[in-house]
Structure 1
Amino acid sequence: MRNKSKVNAAATVARLLEHARYEVLPTASIEDTVLEHVPSTSAVTVTASPSKGLEATLDLTERLTKHGYTAVPHLAARMVRDRAELEEIAARLTSQGIESVFVPGGDADPPGAYPDALSLLEELKVIGTPFTHVGITGYPESHPTISDDLTIQSMWDKRKYATHVVSNLTFDPDLLTDWVARMRGRGITLPLLLGIPGPVDRTKLLGMATKIGVGESTRFLMKNKGTFARLAAPGGYTGERFLEKVAPALSGPEMLVEGLHVFTFNQVAATIAWRDQLLDELSARA
């Protein structure tokens, strides 16, 4: 029974790795980096930050789409000015064949017409539901600026406008599996992509923070300070151990865990190499 359980867990980890998409920040060099290291059959999501504006996100999304990637822009609700701009964005993206978006609340302060993700999702429905695939955020752990009660209620409210959930970062396997079970028990049956960090060098990660703007870096560091600590700690977090621990609890079809959302922090080459090596190791064990 134990051997069978290990085999099933390994098969789950392999399936998740095979269905991974990669999150990048829209910096000047990232397009060439993606082209060099990421197969064009992969999905790449493009973040949005107040310091760069939505144009950087949309422009990179369009360019990656032309290269054959499934490119998914983050439409941060608080960064969208009003309905006219939302309609313009939707028309622009759909004209390029872009069918998928990810809708977080975002950090822009003050916001435009949409103070949170739900209000923008509702507006997307009003303008005709232009996108086939719409992702929303799930929070296994506390959000630094939003209470747990609100994040849980928000995901429930947003579910009817979305096609899948992307979990925010967590490093506690037990907490994650409990959160997924509670989400399913409450009747939220949207497919889930597990958010995990790729293998990131701390020095490079801190350097990346300086490239996204001073104000944005402050918010980035506040929201991800636990990430830095765990990634930097000797013998601390690794993606392999995390996936091996969550796989047994999340392997059942009722959990609807479809793949991974990998936060690369633009360390794309290392992330792809890590994923490929782990798949090779799992194949060798099979």
Structure 2
Amino acid sequence: HVPARLLRDDTHLKDVVERLRTVGVDDVFVPAGDAAPPAGPYDGALPVLRRLDELGGPFAHLGITGYPESHPLIHDDITIQAMWDKRAHATYIVSNLCFDPRVLGDWIARIRRRDVTLPVHVGVAGPVQRAKLLSMATKIGVGESTRFLTKHASWFLRFATPGGYVPERLLDRCAEALAAPSARVAGLHVFTFNQIAETERWRRALLDRLGG
């Protein structure tokens, strides 16, 4: 995970690349990040991706972001265009959280119409406790909490409503859209909200129920 807006300069980027390569990392996810203002000259993911190409392509796999539900600060057309611009540098897309099967299916169809053919890893939330999400929102500070809730109000409410979110239910409702060959969905990206052990137990139990 290499947020572009946290990179101070080219030397910092090279240092990050070297450290990751030293420990054998060959798959990195490059979002823009939320630092405002940026720590250095990289104001988005695309300049970082281009620079990585200039450095010889040190990673075999490069992920970029996708936004099935509208980004709170960026118009939908711009996020779709950004994926088009990045497609030559990346190898896959990770979608942000989405809880509406129709919206998710429409988004996948839209990026395919734009000839963005990168495989998509659909972002889903694991079985996150409502109290955990509330705790995360409040611990990051009053100002940051307001920003967090404003940016993510639609899916926050899905968690906050009792019985409002069950991962399996969402996956069942999305199954048709995700399974279509034209969708090129490569798998899931599970957001754990730091509940790693609980999410792994859920994942293993789900695979056992599916016979896999």
Same fold? TM cut 0.5: yes
Establish whether residue 141 from structure 1 lines up as the match of residue 69 from structure 2.
yes
- Matching residue of 1:92: 19
Establish whether residue 230 from structure 1 lines up as the match of residue 158 from structure 2.
yes
After TM superposition, give the deviation of residue 140 of structure 1 in Å: 0.6
What is the distance in 2 between the residues matched to 1:220 and 1:123?
A: 30
TM-score (norm 1): 0.69
- Matching residue of 1:198: 126
After TM superposition, the structure 1 stretch with the greater mean CA deviation from structure 2, 272-281 or 170-179, is: 272-281
What is the distance in 1 between the residues matched to 2:184 and 2:171?
A: 16
TM-score (norm 2): 0.92
Mapping of 1:23-42 within 5 angstroms? none
Tell me, what secondary structure is at the counterpart of 2:15? helix
After TM superposition, the structure 1 stretch with the greater mean CA deviation from structure 2, 209-218 or 260-269, is: 209-218
Tell me, what secondary structure is at the counterpart of 1:106? coil
Tell me, what secondary structure is at the counterpart of 1:259? strand
Establish whether residue 132 from structure 1 lines up as the match of residue 65 from structure 2.
no
Establish whether residue 260 from structure 1 lines up as the match of residue 188 from structure 2.
yes
Indicate how the Cα distance of structure 1 residues 117 and 109 shifts in structure 2: closer, same or farther if over 3 A, else same.
same
Tell me, what secondary structure is at the counterpart of 1:221? helix
Mapping of 1:14-163 within 5 angstroms? 74-111=1-38, 112-163=40-91
Tell me, what secondary structure is at the counterpart of 1:200? coil
Q: 2:202 aligns with which of 271, 274, 280?
A: 274
Indicate how the Cα distance of structure 1 residues 78 and 218 shifts in structure 2: closer, same or farther if over 3 A, else same.
farther
Query: Percent identical across equivalent pairs?
Result: 58
After TM superposition, give the deviation of residue 217 of structure 1 in Å: 4.2
Q: Larger relative contact order (C-alpha < 8 A, sep ≥ 6)? A: 1
Indicate how the Cα distance of structure 1 residues 135 and 238 shifts in structure 2: closer, same or farther if over 3 A, else same.
same
What is the distance in 2 between the residues matched to 1:223 and 1:265?
A: 16
After TM superposition, give the deviation of residue 189 of structure 1 in Å: 1.0
After TM superposition, give the deviation of residue 218 of structure 1 in Å: 4.2
What is the distance in 1 between the residues matched to 2:147 and 2:92?
A: 26
Indicate how the Cα distance of structure 1 residues 135 and 210 shifts in structure 2: closer, same or farther if over 3 A, else same.
same
Which structure 1 residue ranges, 5 or more long, are not aligned? Answer: 1-73
Indicate how the Cα distance of structure 1 residues 219 and 121 shifts in structure 2: closer, same or farther if over 3 A, else same.
farther
- Count of aligned residue pairs for this structure pair: 211
After TM superposition, give the deviation of residue 223 of structure 1 in Å: 2.4
Which structure 2 residue ranges, 5 or more long, are not aligned? Answer: none
After TM superposition, the structure 1 stretch with the greater mean CA deviation from structure 2, 210-219 or 84-93, is: 210-219
After TM superposition, give the deviation of residue 247 of structure 1 in Å: 1.2
Give the letter aligned to residue 86 of structure 1.
Answer: L
After TM superposition, give the deviation of residue 137 of structure 1 in Å: 0.3
What is the distance in 1 between the residues matched to 2:210 and 2:33?
A: 37
Tell me, what secondary structure is at the counterpart of 2:152? helix
What is the distance in 2 between the residues matched to 1:130 and 1:221?
A: 36
After TM superposition, give the deviation of residue 216 of structure 1 in Å: 4.7
> Residue 202 of structure 1 contacts residue 228 of structure 1 at CA under 8 Å; is this kept in 2?
no
Give the letter aligned to residue 120 of structure 2.
Answer: L
After TM superposition, the structure 1 stretch with the greater mean CA deviation from structure 2, 123-132 or 137-146, is: 123-132
What is the distance in 2 between the residues matched to 1:161 and 1:246?
A: 29
Q: CA RMSD in A?
A: 1.8
Tell me, what secondary structure is at the counterpart of 2:77? helix
Give the letter aligned to residue 173 of structure 2.
Answer: K
What is the distance in 1 between the residues matched to 2:26 and 2:138?
A: 32
Give the letter aligned to residue 193 of structure 2.
Answer: F
